[in-house]
Homo-oligomer: A and B are copies of this chain.
């Protein structure tokens, strides 16, 4: 059933080509632009406070990523996010490195309090920190979490009344009541900078053609992960994997996703 939804949403992304407005870091921004294109959506990157409100008004989704945060950027995120909220455009927040510095943790909490975030996507450490000091983050990597991953994701979703995506070998998607797991993916995705950021772009692309952000998120992760699985078959290392990942997502057929999406309801261990 989830495979069918995922395949239908992928088709919809490619037909409707939603504009995905990113306010994002300068490390992986090119990857985000290209993965959005390879998904079938249309990326735009714009951060100036003078234009974000206008730009987002044409968007199907807004992706906020704090990977190379600055105070000016937070202000632009706030302006764009408020406009997106007014227009009921979904907002994806990727709190890169939350927990690593006060600026990142506090900025994330500020955005979560001021904006209606549709999907909060982070690694286990980041989500753990946001759920109340249950995670440890080193730089932009998850170091450890203190407790069961799914429980922490659920708690985070309840606290912030949002859908939480916790990325990992098994991705967890939860709105606090209902939890899905996605098991598509390839270990090489952890060897490459930016796969987390790219995942947020794919989440935005799918959210741009759906109103059920639980299903759109699980579908997006399945599509991205499945492209990773196929890429892993022909890679010699992280960079040939990268080339294949983009090519495979671009070439991914909805029918493949229907068959091979590994999305399941989760009912505890």
Interface residues of A toward B: which range? 35 or more
A27 & B30 in contact (Cβ 8 Å cutoff): yes
Q: Secondary structure at chain A's binding surface: helix, strand, loop or mixed?
A: mixed
**Proximity bits, A146-168, B CB within 8 Å = 1, else 0:** 00000000000000000000000
Quick one: closest B residue to A103, CB to CB?
B51
Chain B CB within 8 A of A46 CB: yes
Q: Beta-carbon contacts of A223-260 to B below 8 Å, as 1s and 0s?
A: 00000000000001111101111111011000000000
Shortest distance between the CB of A66 and any CB in chain B (Å): 10
Within 8 A of B (CB), among A107-140: 138-140
- Tell me the number of copies of this protein: 3
> Which of B19, B30, B237, B247 lies in contact with A246, CB distance below 8 A?
B237
Q: Which residues of B contact A45 (CB under 8 A)?
A: 25-27, 67-68
CB contacts (< 8 Å) of A169 on chain B: these are none
A101 and B46 form a contact (CB under 8 A): yes
CB–CB B71/A50 < 8 A: yes
- A138, B43: Cα distance in complex, Å: 10
Which residues of A are interface residues toward B (Cβ below 8 A)?
Answer: 19, 21, 25-31, 33-34, 37-38, 42-48, 50-51, 54-55, 58-59, 67-71, 97, 100-104, 138-141, 191-194, 236-240, 242-248, 250-251
